[in-house]
Chain A
Amino acid sequence: MPLELTAADRAMLDGEGGAAMQTAMSIVAQMAEVQGAGELLDITQAHIDATVYVGDAGLEFAERLAGQGAKVAVPSTLNVGALDEHHWHEWAVAPEWAARARRQMHAYESMGTTPTWTCAPYQTVHRPTFGEHIAWGESNAVSFANSVIGARTDFYADMLDICCALTGRAPAAGLHLSENRIGRLLLRLVGVPKKVQQDDSFFTVLGYVTGRMAGNRIPVVEGVLGEPDEDQLKALAATAASSGAVAMFHIIGVTPEAPTCEAAFHGRRPEEILDITMDELRRARCELTTADGAQLDMVVLGSPHLSIGEIKRLLLLVEGKRAHPEVEFLVTTSRAVAHLAERSGAMECLRAFGARVTVDTCILTTPMLPEGVRVLMTNAGKFAYYTPGLLSREVVFSGMEDCVRSAIEGRVVVEDRLWKN
């Protein structure tokens, strides 16, 4: 199907909107051709993941567009940057590196975007609604928007996200189209008792298994008991989008495009049916941990960035207690949530426990960790997944309660009775 551009698209391509718009439209159109799209469609908003500095190429791209006067055509939020803009010097970040990371952040800020600096844009006031066509980057956000909200975004890789934002257009392809949102693979939870499903690490572990089994196919999960809350679905989305290429999933009876199994598969048969048993879940829980022994240097929570609801849960666990002096306790969240926490008194309580809070970024995107930190503990599947490769450090995965208890005792304590045979 040849790509048909509208007169307005062609005008952008011919440079009538300026050089930045021309570059952006050229990239959007080339990607549309690559994806076999017949046309472009209008988007209502964008979320820009290209904000993270990983080297000078991305910086050069950002500054070139900014220098050409690029301005976004639709409301656009910014993903994490590679720096906690106002507090980076409290950590091990090198000033030269910080300067480059900040230049990239400023370049994207200059384009008329909203500096949310968060990987959980769906938990801000900019949350899209069901059926809206949006262009989002950030794997966890893409997965959440499609699956939990029912908004429609393809998986926009860094730099295509900003090109869509500048033009307000995106290829009519991938998860924008109903036929590509149909479930392909049925994953059945079999023999997984309710008490395991209620464990506070369950949805992260389920996410890990889901990503592994699904690969790049849309999975449909059957057998989830009760009604998972939004933060549990967020953990599932983020982890499945790390261990697999899961830009969308369905949970029967839970997510909006899967009221029934029939609806999730549009009446078709699944390509494959796989069972998720306690064995798979146990193995996944083990794989998320790479450290052995009790040594613990740091506990880190917040990938994706903690919501105000998660901070409230954390407060119940830390109130009146104190973290061990040898263990660093870090929470990563957005400026907006940190502000709410400050106003509500939650922040004071976290500080009294010994916690520190980083905003705008996370441990994976800014080189903030001191050399002495060798073993991290987290309840976030995404942190657990990427820490060994990106940070060359060991990681222990368990639920939030274990993370807090370990921080207090100064050593790894994991209560896994529920998960045992």
Chain B
Amino acid sequence: MEELIHARPVIPGEAEGMLMVSSEPLSFWGGYDQQTGEIIDRRHPLSGRIAAGHVLALPFTRGSSTTTAVLLEAVRVGVAPAALLSTGVDTCFALASIVAKELYARSLPVLVLRRQDFDALASGPSAAIMRDGKIILSKS
């Protein structure tokens, strides 16, 4: 079964991965292990999950401005999410993606979803991100 969502690409790109969703914001510094891709904020609902390679949907980032550096390091190590979805333009996500392209020529698509589309997301299906902002969710 497939479902199509139209999102706005902030940093366009193509990616594929399992969808991982939380309605709770996250600080990547102190919340994401840049060596393993594990979510380590022990007060976060996704604590203990490995987000590496997933299409990660979070409403926005909270907390530290070092979130960008942590995300960039995760890109270098190879444990970053495959793409990032949020409910508004998140400057930490966008900046990490811009610098990742500058330093490593790696793509980390960042997209903004309408609130009602974001709220309807649930972890599980695989998500394919298109350059124009289309997201195809496939449930097996």
Q: Which B residues are in CB contact (< 8 Å) with A390? A: 29-30, 40
A275 CB–B CB distance under 8 Å: no
Q: B68–A55 contact, CB under 8 A?
A: no
B70 pairs with A54, CB closer than 8 A: yes
A324 smallest CB distance to B (angstroms): 28
Decide if A244 is an interface residue (CB 8 Å cutoff). yes
Chain A hits for B50, CB < 8 A: none
Tell me which residues from 56 to 85 in chain B have a Cβ below 8 Å from any Cβ of chain A. Answer: 59-70, 72-73, 75-77
B27 interfacial by beta-carbon distance below 8 Å? yes
Per-residue contact bits, chain B 73-114, to A (CB 8 Å; 1 contact, 0 not): 101110000000000110110111011001110000000000
Contacting residues, chain A, for B95 (C-beta < 8 A): 27, 31, 157, 159-160
Q: Does B25 contact A (CB under 8 A)?
A: yes
Question: Are B65 and A245 in touch, CB under 8 angstroms?
Answer: no
Among A52, A54, A161, find the residue whose CB has the most chain B CB atoms closer than 10 A. Answer: A54
Residue count of chain B within 8 Å CB distance of chain A: 43
Comparing A136-144, A229-237, A347-355, A396-404, the segment that makes contact with chain B is: A136-144
Q: Are A31 and B98 in contact, with the CB atoms below 8 A? A: yes
B62 to chain A, nearest CB (A): 4
- Is B42 a contact of A388 with CB atoms below 8 Å? yes
Whether B65 contacts A139 by the Cβ 8 Å rule is: yes
B91 touches A34 (CB 8 A): yes
The reply on A30 being an interface residue by CB < 8 A is yes
Determine the chain A residues whose CB is within 8 A of the CB of B70 once the complex forms: 54-55
Instruction: Give which listed residue, A64, A158, A244, A287, contacts B68 with CB less than 8 A.
Output: A158
Cβ contact within 8 Å between A61 and B103: yes
Contact of B30 among A215, A290, A385 (CB under 8 A): A385
B139 within 8 A of A: no
- Measured CA separation A155–B104 after assembly (Å): 25
Inter-chain contacts of B98 with A (CB < 8 A): 27, 30-31, 34
Partner of B43, one of A27, A57, A142, A287: A287
Would you call B65 and A55 a contact (CB within 8 A)? no
CB distance from B65 to the nearest CB of A (A): 5
Question: Would you list the 7 A-B pairs with minimal beta carbon distance, nearest first?
Answer: A55-B73, A157-B68, A386-B30, A245-B62, A388-B42, A57-B76, A389-B40
- The contact sample of 12 A-B pairs, CB cut-off 8 A, is A27-B99, A27-B102, A34-B89, A34-B91, A49-B65, A54-B66, A55-B76, A139-B64, A157-B66, A216-B25, A245-B62, A390-B40
